[in-house]
Structure 1
Amino acid sequence: MTSDRDQHPRSSMHADPSAWGEMLAAVYRDIANRAVRDLSIFNEALSVEAIGFRVQGGRVVGIMVTPWFMNVVMPVPDGASQSSPARDPDLRVRFPGGDLEFTISELALVGPIASCSLFSPMFEFEDMATARATAETVFAALMSPADSAASHGLHAPHISLIDRRHFLRGLLTERAHEPLLP
């Protein structure tokens, strides 16, 4: 009998965040070539790239840039995967720059992942350098304390949950009534 760890190599990749990010990028490159390239949401000027993958708060996290989306992604934390994505598709996670809401899904060859959409589709990016720079800026803000200039500017209010639609615009909102993963 095959164990979950053998079926989903992500479990062994947690020790090396950049390797997990590159494995995820390889899966998305395959998806791009097989299934998405001919769809109207595909931006030909972009490619698939894993940005900034590292361990933060005991979990691997980074940004995945593809020709059709840019998401903050991480493997589903142990314990959170106990509930079926069909029953509990959302997860809130605390980062130094604020809290994000993730959707849990299953990705073939990877296993359960948590994703927070930043952009989709990706037509506002004219080239990969711009998409990469945006991903790096977002990731730096996410990893900086919420009260620092890097996370949201000198005059923005302190927040506890980042509304992803407003994250890059500096319009951050607070929703403290929902449970968070530390």
Structure 2
Amino acid sequence: MSGLTPRFEGSYMGDATRLADDAVMECKICWSVYDPAEGCEVWQVPPHTPFSSLPDYWRCPTCDGAKEQFMVVSASPLPPAPEKSANTGSMMQTEQKHMSDPASSFARALEEVFTDIYASKMRGLPFVNEALHVKAVGFCTFEGQLVGALVTPWFMNLIAFPSAGADWSGVVSGSKKLLNFPSGSYEFTAVLRDGGAEALRGYWACSLFSPVFNFTTMLQAIDTAQAAVRGLLDPALNPQSGAAHTAKHTAQADQLPEKPDMGRRSLLVGRPTARAGA
């Protein structure tokens, strides 16, 4: 498994500023060609889209190789680079700090683990949607824990990675717990990975879709995952209001007086409601 630092092995060294808009690129793994004049039908990228303008989640449509694995086949010469300004160094340091924040690091670790699982165990199985690939979406920090969504070719889950120092000594993999968020309280399942990466020793997962044949493109899946994360953190979706919401939001999950309806898509279709007869 590769480390968490991106490896830029292509001839443009992962630096989009070194690419002309008409640069024709070739995957060094399978030799598939990306021609800006044609775009990419698989990823629904329109013609005349430069390689440097492709979204971060774009990958080789043939072998699923990363963008950084592409080599320049032909391109117009670039104009001379402008001189570096006095604040260039501070800008680079800010960007590096952003890329190394805990949420981004955890998202990359998730992607690496589940990309390996897909390649070694899941590819070709009947419940796998081969139109999708592994992508961590919308990860951010909420009250000390890392929250986001994970898209794979066989499931889409909300993920909550507990804050540093959280006690997992009594947590059993597969156990259930209600976690509180601005939009309400939702049932998550504990996931413990023996021998996994340090960042993945234990986290909580809430299933949104499994399997994921609802999605015909990766763009659809990513848009849905982003909507779910936004909904999770949107207090406007919470059925409680005012002081009642504040009290519920700060209470311990196992002390909640009511257990909400935990339909898979409750975040996508509306606010959570109490179970009948609760």
Aligning the two structures, in what range does the TM-score lie when normalised by the shorter sequence?
0.7 to 0.9
Higher relative contact order (CA 8 A, sep 6+): 1
Q: Which moved more, 1:134-143 or 1:71-80?
A: 71-80
User: Which residue of the partner structure matches residue 102 of structure 2?
Assistant: 16
- Alignment pair present for 1:131 and 2:221: yes
Aligned mate of 2:160, from 74, 81, 93: 74
Q: Following superposition, which runs of at least 4 residues in structure 1 exceed 4 angstroms of deviation?
A: 157-160
CA distance in 1, matches of 2:136, 2:230: 14
Amino acid at match of 2:224: T
User: Which residue of the partner structure matches residue 272 of structure 2?
Assistant: 172
Aligned mate of 2:130, from 15, 35, 44: 44
TM-score of the two chains, using structure 1 as the length reference: 0.75
* Distance of aligned partners of 1:166 and 1:30 in 2 relative to their CA distance in 1, 3 Å threshold: closer
State whether residues 144 and 162 of structure 2, in contact with CA within 8 Å, keep that contact through their aligned partners in structure 1. no
Structure 1, unpaired ranges of 5+: 1-8
CA RMSD of aligned residues (A): 2.6
More strand by share: 1
* Distance of aligned partners of 1:114 and 1:30 in 2 relative to their CA distance in 1, 3 Å threshold: same
Secondary structure (helix, strand or coil) at the match of 1:165 reads: coil
CA distance in 1, matches of 2:215, 2:191: 26
User: Which residue of the partner structure matches residue 210 of structure 2?
Assistant: 120
Percent identity over paired residues: 33
Secondary structure (helix, strand or coil) at the match of 2:269 reads: coil
How far residue 134 of structure 1 moved from its aligned partner, in angstroms, is 0.5
How far residue 62 of structure 1 moved from its aligned partner, in angstroms, is 0.7
Secondary structure (helix, strand or coil) at the match of 1:133 reads: helix
Deviation per residue, 1:129-164 (Å, 9 max, x gap): 00000011111111110xx2xx38xxxx54974513
Amino acid at match of 1:37: R
State whether residues 128 and 211 of structure 2, in contact with CA within 8 Å, keep that contact through their aligned partners in structure 1. yes
* Distance of aligned partners of 1:56 and 1:172 in 2 relative to their CA distance in 1, 3 Å threshold: same
Query: Whose Rg is larger?
Result: 2
Deviation per residue, 1:19-62 (Å, 9 max, x gap): 10111111000000000112111101001111011100111111
Aligned mate of 1:62, from 148, 152, 173: 148
Structure 2, unpaired ranges of 5+: 5-99, 249-259
Secondary structure (helix, strand or coil) at the match of 1:134 reads: helix
Amino acid at match of 1:85: V
